[in-house]
Amino acid sequence: MLEEVNVPPLSLSSYEATAGQEAVAEIRRLAEPLRGARVLHVNATKFGGGVAEILPTLTGLMRDVGLDAEWRLMPGDERFYNVTKLLHNGLQGMAVALDAERRDTYRETSERFAAQFEGDYDYVVIHDPQPAALRSLRPSATGKWIWRCHIDLTAANPDAWGFVRPMVEAYDAAIFTLPDYVQPDLRVGVLAYVAPSIDPLSPKNMPLEPALVDDVLYRLGVDPHRPLLLQVSRFDPWKDPQGVIEAYRAVKREIPQVQLSLVGSMATDDPEGWRIYRDILRFAGQDPDLTILTNLDGVGALEVNAFQRAADVVLQKSLREGFGLTVSEALWKGVPVVGGRVGGIPMQIGEDVGGRLVTTTDEATAACLELLRDDQLRHRMGIAGRERVRRNFLSTRNLRDYLRLFNALRTGDRSLVPTGELA
Give the pLDDT score at 269.
Answer: 58
Output the pLDDT for position 351: 78
pTM of the model: 0.94
pLDDT of residue 173: 98
- CA dist 235 and 284 (Å) reads 14
Between CA 99 and CA 378, with CA 151 as vertex, the angle to 5 degrees is 140
The pLDDT assigned to 422 comes to 93
Q: CA–CA separation, 192 vs 194, rounded Å?
A: 6
Mean pLDDT of 297-310: 95
Q: How would residue 267 be classed by pLDDT, with cut points 50, 70 and 90?
A: low
Q: Note the helical H segments in 271-360.
A: 272-284, 301-310, 325-332, 345-348
Concatenated DSSP letters of 313-381: EEEE--SS-S--HHHHHHHHTT--EEEESSTTHHHHSBTTBSEEEESSHHHHHHHHHHHHT-HHHHHHH
Q: Which amino acid is at 20?
A: G
Residues in Cβ contact with 321 at an 8 Å cutoff, skipping those fewer than 6 apart: 152, 238, 340, 342, 343, 344, 345
84 within 8 A of 269, measured Cβ to Cβ = yes
Mean pLDDT of 62-86: 94
pLDDT mean over 25-43: 98
Phi and psi torsions of 98, nearest 5°: -95, 80
Q: Is the Cα torsion angle 275, 276, 279, 285 positive or negative in sign?
A: negative
Cα R_g (the chain), whole angstroms: 21
How many alpha carbons lie under 13 Å from residue 301 in its C-beta half-sphere?
17
CA-to-CA distance for 183 and 153, rounded, in angstroms? 7
Q: Residue 329's pLDDT is what?
A: 98
Question: Is the model's pLDDT at 402 over the cut of 80?
Answer: yes
Say if residues 117 and 376 touch (Cβ distance below 8 Å). Answer: no
Report the distance separating Cα 230 and Cα 244, nearest Å.
Answer: 9
In angstroms, the CA 21 to CA 32 distance is 17
pLDDT of 131 over the 90 cut: yes
Statement: residue 103 has pLDDT above 70 = yes
Say if CB 345 and CB 339 are below 8 A apart: yes
pLDDT grade for 274, boundaries at 50, 70 and 90: confident
The model's pLDDT over 202-214, given as tens digits with 9 standing for 90+, comes to 999 999 999 999 9
Residue 216: pLDDT above 90?
A: yes
Provide the pairing of β-strand 313-316 with 144-148.
unpaired
What's the confidence (pLDDT) of residue 273? 79
Q: What is the mean pLDDT of residues 68-96?
A: 93
- Nearest 5 degrees, angle CA 63-CA 43-CA 128? 120
Q: Rounded distance, CA 138 to CA 113, Å? A: 10
Domains of the chain, earliest start first: 3-197+394-416 (3.40.50.2000), 210-392 (3.40.50.2000)
When pLDDT is averaged across residues 123-151 and rounded to a whole number, the result is 97
Tens of pLDDT along 349-388? 987 899 999 999 999 999 999 999 999 999 999 999 999 9
Mean model confidence pLDDT for the chain: 95
Averaged pLDDT for residues 391-401: 98
Residue 61 has pLDDT above 80, yes or no: yes
> What does the pLDDT look like over 240-258, one tens digit per residue?
999 999 999 999 999 999 9
Q: For residues 325 and 246, what is the distance between their CA atoms, to the nearest angstrom?
A: 23
Q: What angle do CA 113, 114, 116 make, to 5 degrees?
A: 65
Model confidence band, residue 6 (pLDDT cutoffs 50, 70, 90): very high
